[in-house]
Amino acid sequence: MEPVTVKGISKCFGTITAVEPLTFSIRKGEVLGLIGENGAGKTTTMRMMATILKPSTGEIRINGYCVQKEAMAVRTQIGILFGGDVGMYNRLTARENIAFFGTLYGLAGMELNKRIDDLADMLEMGAFIDRRVGPFSRGMKQKVAIARTLVHDPQVILLDEPTTGLDVSAAVIFRQLITTMRQAGKTILFSSHNMGEIEKLCDRVAIMHKGKLLFHGTIPALRAKSSIHDLDDLFVHLVTGGKPIE
């Protein structure tokens, strides 16, 4: 069974249907890119996968565990990062913030410190890992948030707009990290509004529009659907046409 399977999940908020019944899967060692306009339902979908929101219908399984019925087990399997303002303890250092999350997953002592040092190396945070996060720039905080997401070395990684706020070099570092994790056999879902980044990083993409899945497949398969070369233009063409494509 694939590490992530989403079958017919939907979400209604009162009379608003944020996500229509949606089915897709993610393989081991795969990076799936989730794209769609503002309000398409990406964050809502990821929140359901992360056990934060209860789906109105359908079933999600993460490494075989049912998100609805085995939420605690699912939480040990996943690392999650949500977009927007990342909540952090401003009076604590970056290391302490990351360590706090690590302890929630049962990590401690040398093992935890080593893991934080490795992440700080990978994300080039060495210069500020032991400084208080209060005055950090947005990108520095985003790096801390990414490290916090990965501290327990999760098998399945859900990242909602992880590169928002990162500068060009930080985005490159982030891409290297994703590539390393993919090679280590992790299963990764990430949302982005940057089509160039999606093309560089993702094995397959899922395009959502108004709560529906318009496309799930490789970028070459997406490109084969139209003669439009520019991916941004192709995306707009697809969502304004509104018709599902195979």
In whole angstroms, give the CA distance from residue 128 to residue 130.
Answer: 5
Q: Which does 163 bind (CB under 5 to 8 A by kind): ligand ATP, Mg ion, none?
A: none
* Shortest distance (Å) from residue 25 CB to ligand ATP: 20
43 vs 142 by CB, closer to Mg ion: 43
Q: Does 192 bind Mg ion (CB under 5 A)?
A: no
Which partner in ligand ATP, Mg ion, none is near 13 (CB below 5 to 8 A by kind)? ligand ATP
Kindly identify the residues of this chain, within the stretch 74-113, that bind Mg ion according to CB under 5 A. Answer: none
For Mg ion, the closer of residues 30 and 160 by Cβ is 160
Contacts of 43 (CB under 8 A, 6+ apart): 82, 83, 160, 191
Q: Judge whether 216 and 206 are in contact, CB under 8 Å.
A: yes
Q: How far is the CB of 23 from ligand ATP (least distance, A)?
A: 17
- Residue number, 102 or 165, with CB nearest to Mg ion: 165
Maximum Cα–Cα distance across the chain: 56
| Secondary structure of residue 126 in the 3-state scheme | coil
Question: What residue 41 binds from Mg ion, ligand ATP, none (CB within 5 to 8 A, per partner kind)?
Answer: ligand ATP
* Site residues for ligand ATP per CB under 6 A: 13, 16, 18, 36, 38-44
- Which of 42, 186 has the CB closer to Mg ion? 42
Burial annotation 135-171 (CB, 10 A radius, 16+ → b, else e):
ebeeebbbbbbbbbbbbbebbbbbbbbbbbbbeeebb
Q: Which does 110 bind (CB under 5 to 8 A by kind): Mg ion, ligand ATP, none?
A: none
Q: How many CA atoms lie within 13 A of 91 on its CB side?
A: 0
**Closest CB 192 distance from ligand ATP, rounded Å:** 9
Q: 116 near 51, Cβ under 8 Å?
A: no
The token duo for 96 is: 């302490």
Residues near 206 by beta carbon (within 8 Å), at least 6 away in sequence: 24, 32, 33, 34, 35, 213, 215, 216
The interface partner of residue 77, options being Mg ion, ligand ATP, none and the CB cut-off 5 to 8 Å by kind, is: none
Candidates 4, 10, 21, 43; binder of Mg ion (CB under 5 A) is 43
| Region of 35-43, 130-138, 140-148, 201-209 interacting with Mg ion (CB under 5 A) | 35-43
Positions in 128-167 near Mg ion (CB under 5 A): none
| Residue 106 CA neighbour count, 13 Å, CB half | 4
**Pick 9 or 18: Cβ nearer ligand ATP:** 18
- For ligand ATP, the closer of residues 30 and 161 by Cβ is 161
List interacting residues with Mg ion (CB under 5 A): 42-43
